[in-house]
Structure 1
């Protein structure tokens, strides 16, 4: 074997160890980089060549040293898929939990300003009216409690309406975010494709892309593919969001529907933050999905029935001024689902007028004025009376049931969110155990490659000494 060939072998070991140390340093430097995946160096022995082979004194072939085949990511695709699958479910339940908690805060039960307390105060004022039907002071209290009741119905409905608008704005923002992710991923696809034409693997660019895909998976359900030509694709429900270096955008139309810009078809996410937002913005109780529209409708039903049932009983009574047929609230007519009763309900203009206190109908018979309280007693009885329009429930029972069911839904959503959060963290922990950088392991590798480098350097020194002996110390006889 040629001594010069021995130098070449040692040189390959030196270079391989140097590259391995560089890669170890790269891993250590990125130990805390989000989305970074641990890389390892792939080494292989350089086989002896029949043309330029090296042979020992016994004619046995010797290899040419070591070759660096490349740098490989340690990544488990199954764990990536599992993480994204669980992450989309987490995104959906986080959104639903936050929204339902916000609705609970809007109803503000139990509290001094909640609907049940305000209803109690209103009927309690009627109780005082039945005791002293002639008192203008008591009548003023009834009117003020009626105003407080309508104000509460108005306020809750307005806050629900505001929350619905907020959800719609958030949907627009999230759709824009999805488009941004699609654009960035498509550009990375192009960079990765061009880089890997050289035969190398774009590990760090792939890490950046995988991190974006992880983040996108929480917003909307996605499916990823990479074919043999390394064309990377992301689908949402069978429709391409990203296909190679092409990104397909979506937008929210004037009716609030999310549509693909190119195809014009609806985007129907099955999970993720976007699914949660759409369910909470549009859920009217159909298929068990109870969002803002459901609670607005229930609130409208309560407001309508309070007004019409109370009006029906109030109209047959008589005021101090002998008037009859006066509505206490301004809501009349048959129920219409498109009317925002809870938003519009007020104490009637007749009752709010300067002489309105005298029109509060406490008496059941004009002949018994001013001390008759028989109609006031009938009005009080409405507190516990079942109402056909509320499925036989009283006003208080309907409100209590609505708020109680909301609490159950919010609790369930929060439980689902917490369970999913644990699941996502566990899957991510499993991913990190495979793909994450272990500083202990990297320190061990650093020592290993450092020793290997030193040994290769020592081999070169030894070869240098051999060459020095051959060149400078042999054949000196006769000089």
Structure 2
């Protein structure tokens, strides 16, 4: 080997060592950077006419486990979906209230029954009759508040959908642009690892919204497809469209056209069920809250309100009422029509004839809603009938309840029990998803930058650099000796 070729080989070694030092320093500096993947230098031996000709830097390899990252992203979506459902059901359970809370629906129903029993024991007491009116209004107020919260949850879900759609459109456009830059860098022979890190972080930010699979394309580019089969990026980013509203009432549904659906590139997308292209992420969860969970809760609440109204609207209960007149609980002051059940809980009110706040008098509770003048103050027959109406076993006519007959208190307990059972199932699924997600995150982190290994690598680079430098020094000394001859 000639002195010149020795110097050439050593110079190539110095160049490789210099590149390796830069990579090690970048790895160590970004050991805690989210989305950063460890780099390594790809080297190969070079030969010329069968003789060694130094080392050749093939490029920089970005060490990322795409399969593990893909699995973790799917669990991000699962956590987003399960958390959205769980949060709604938890809030709903809190609004209705568990039986141990005085302000719960069950607690207010119990207070109403107690007030009726107290009034029956002393029907001449205006204070006890007033307590019945106050307890009845408390039940009405709670049902209205619950309904208002259900509709607010739908509004919040609708607004969240709009925000997530905007975030998706921005993220997909950024990935499209990063794809182009990565392709350009690969064509020019420039290391695109930094751009790939940014692309991975951008996709990660969307992973909880929409479950997506990453597919490789030429020159380092990627395509994105949902687990439901919708291609959201392949060269060009898809564009989602959604129009949020400012107000939602129980009558407003997606099917009626009062609420916006989701479109991709102008084409409507199915947003519910296992066949939905967006199933499994927080976006699907928000649609489920807006279009399924909350409306189902409203139907159950209206079913309970109907049962309450019909218990006291029985024509045989109060002989003083005109045929077809409203009972103690009314539909906005009128008798309840079974054909107009939707949103009944929002219109529920206590009969004006017994409510002093509406110009009525509490003695109507004792003497009858249609009584013209007060009757015998010691007569508790009607009040006892009201107590019997509350406690009678009755099969609810609507609301999706089982056909079992039960009292008003029993039906209130069933309403809460159904929600609590759904919440328990959602919390269990959420715990599983979060545990799986945390495990995959730990595995992903374990494959990140190992600073101990990088320090060991740095020592080897230092030795290689010193060895190559020594070769150059020796070659220089040889040349000087020859020149001095």
Separation in structure 2 between the aligned mates of residue 334 and residue 416 of structure 1, nearest angstrom:
41
* Structure 1 residue corresponding to 2:392, chosen from 362, 385, 388: 385
Correspondence for 1:10: 10
CA distance in 1, matches of 2:315, 2:111: 19
Check 1:337–1:62 CA distance in 2 against 1; reply closer, same or farther (3 A cut). Answer: farther
Residue of structure 1 equivalent to 2:327:
327
Post-superposition Cα deviations, 1:66-94, rounded to whole Å, max 9, x if no partner, equal 11110001122221221122222121111
Higher Cα Rg, which structure: 1
| Equivalent of residue 60 in structure 2, options 71, 75, 84 | 71
- How far off is 1:313 after superposition? 6.2
Question: Partner residue of 1:462?
Answer: 474
Contact 2:136-2:350 at 8 Å conserved across structures: yes
TM-score under structure 2 normalisation?
0.87
Alignment of 1:24-103 (within 5 A): 24-47=24-47, 49-50=48-49, 62-103=51-92
Q: Cα deviations across residues 219-253 of structure 1 (Å, max 9, x unaligned)?
A: 11222222345542212333332222444333246
Question: How far has the Cα of 1:266 moved from its partner?
Answer: 4.1
Alignment of 1:427 with 2:440, yes or no, is yes
Question: Alignment length, in residue pairs?
Answer: 452
Partners of 2:261 and 2:268 within 8 A in 1: no
| Alignment equivalent of 1:112, drawn from 102, 112, 115 | 102
Measured against aligned partners, the alpha-carbon deviations of 1:34-63 in whole angstroms (never above 9, x if no partner) come to: 10000100111111x22xxxxxxxxxx530
Corresponding residue of 1:186? 176
CA distance 1:265–1:318, change in 2 (3 Å): closer
CA shift at 1:190, angstroms? 1.3
Which of 243, 258, 262 matches 1:258?
262
| Distance in 2 separating the partners of 1:80 and 1:365 | 72
Cα drift, residue 103 of structure 1: 1.2
Provide the TM-score with structure 1 as the length reference.
0.88
Structure 1 SS opposite 2:313: helix
Give the secondary structure class of the aligned counterpart of 1:388.
coil
- Contact 1:185–1:212 (CA under 8 A) maintained in structure 2: yes
Q: Give, in angstroms, the shift of residue 422 of structure 1.
A: 1.5
SS at match of 1:195: helix
1:447 matches 2:463: no
Q: In the aligned structure 1, how far is the partner of 2:71 from the partner of 2:295?
A: 34
Deviation per CA, 1:264-296: give whole Å up to 9, x if none: 44453110111111112211xxxxxxx111111
Q: Secondary structure, in 3 states, of the residue corresponding to 1:197?
A: helix
Q: Which moved more, 1:395-404 or 1:265-274?
A: 265-274
Does the 8 Å CA contact 1:43/1:66 hold for their aligned counterparts?
yes
Assess if the C-alpha contact under 8 Å between 2:299 and 2:342 holds in 1: no
Structure 1 unaligned blocks of 5 or more: 51-60, 284-290, 475-479
CA–CA distance in 1 between the matches of 2:183 and 2:132? Answer: 76
Three-state SS of the structure 2 residue aligned to 1:441 is helix
Cα shift at 1:315? 5.2
SS at match of 2:391: coil
Structural mapping, 1:11-410, within 5 Å: 11-47=11-47, 49-50=48-49, 62-110=51-99, 111-228=101-218, 230-236=220-226, 237-252=228-243, 255-266=259-270, 268=276, 269-283=278-292, 291-312=293-314, 316-318=318-320, 327-331=327-331, 332-336=335-339, 339-352=342-355, 353-362=358-367, 369-389=376-396, 391=403, 392-410=405-423
Answer with 66-75 or 223-232: which moved more.
223-232
- Give the Å deviation of 1:325: 6.0
Displacement of 1:133: 2.0
Q: Which moved more, 1:358-367 or 1:259-268?
A: 358-367
Compared CA separation, residues 381 and 148, structure 1 to 2 (3 A): same
Residue 249 of structure 2 corresponds to none
Q: Deviations over 1:368-388 (max 9, x none)?
A: 834322221121112321222
Q: Once the two structures are superposed, what CA deviation does each residue of 1:422-469 show, in whole Å capped at 9, x if it has no partner?
A: 2112112222323x0011111111111011111111111111111111
How far residue 333 of structure 1 moved from its aligned partner, in angstroms, is: 3.2
